[in-house]
Amino acid sequence: MQRFLLALLIVGSVLSTSFACTRILWNKNQFGILAARSMDWPESTEPILWFLPRGMDRDGAKCGGETVVKENPLRWSSKYASLVTAIYGVGSVDGMNEKGLGGHLLYLAKTDFGPRDFKKKGVSAILWLQYVLDQASTVQEALNLLQKVQPVMIQAHGHNATVHLSLEDRAGDSAIIEYLDGKPKVHHGRQYTIMTNDPHYDEQLNLLSKMDFSQPGQDTPVPGNISPQDRFQRAAYF
């Protein structure tokens, strides 16, 4: 667990100058479950580490001081403590809780949370990750919780929060959650170890299937540019 957290914090602190975020999960080794991500953005996101204890009351209607969920907002009290990276002082984009559940929000331009479904509790997109870190101990528990809520789009520093969510737990389970055309699409299983940006995850898997990394060697071509597709395939190769 300590190695998992160290990798998360070290790589999560890397900043660059493009929309080029990458999450990797290494859950097939003798050392432990290791996860990391880059946060490559065209400006500083003013990142800061927050330690968030148990028993904190949360208002899912909020983005900082602004109320973004006007009707039927999600409210909760944190069940688990967590250590997170927050941006712009409004919410968490990376973190892990005391049970070893980790998560990451990455950019996905095609994200569409859809029209507000008032039958479901609404949660500000910037608190989407924090909700599961507060309340779930495993990926499966998190997915069960997320079936009952709807993320709500926000804006921060002129950008819509078009994000998708990756989760992993101390057993090596993994999930990728995207909202496309207003509907959630979930990929759940240990095999889903990579996430970058656009295109959406099914298309990334389709593009990866055309590559043959079964017997890598010095003559194996590895995609080398910074596009989300190449980063996805390069991360899968390594």
Contact between 83 and 150 (Cβ < 8 Å): no
Tell me if residue 63 is catalytic.
no
Phi-psi region of 180 (alpha: psi -120 to 50; beta: other; left: phi over 0): beta
> Which tokens hold the place of 110?
């095609």
Annotated catalytic residue within 8, 11, 20, 21:
21
- Residue where the block lists tokens 């959406």: 200
Q: For the chain, where are the alpha helices, taking DSSP H only?
A: 2-12, 128-135, 139-146, 201-209, 228-237
H or E stretch covering 67: strand 66-67
State CA 147 to chain mean position distance.
16
> Which tokens hold the place of 17?
């100058």
> Which tokens hold the place of 69?
């969920």
Q: How far is the CA of 238 from the CAs of 153, 154, 189, 208, in angstroms?
A: 34, 35, 19, 13
> Could you tell me which of 221, 71, 97 has the C-alpha nearest to residue 152?
71
Residues recognised as catalytic: 21
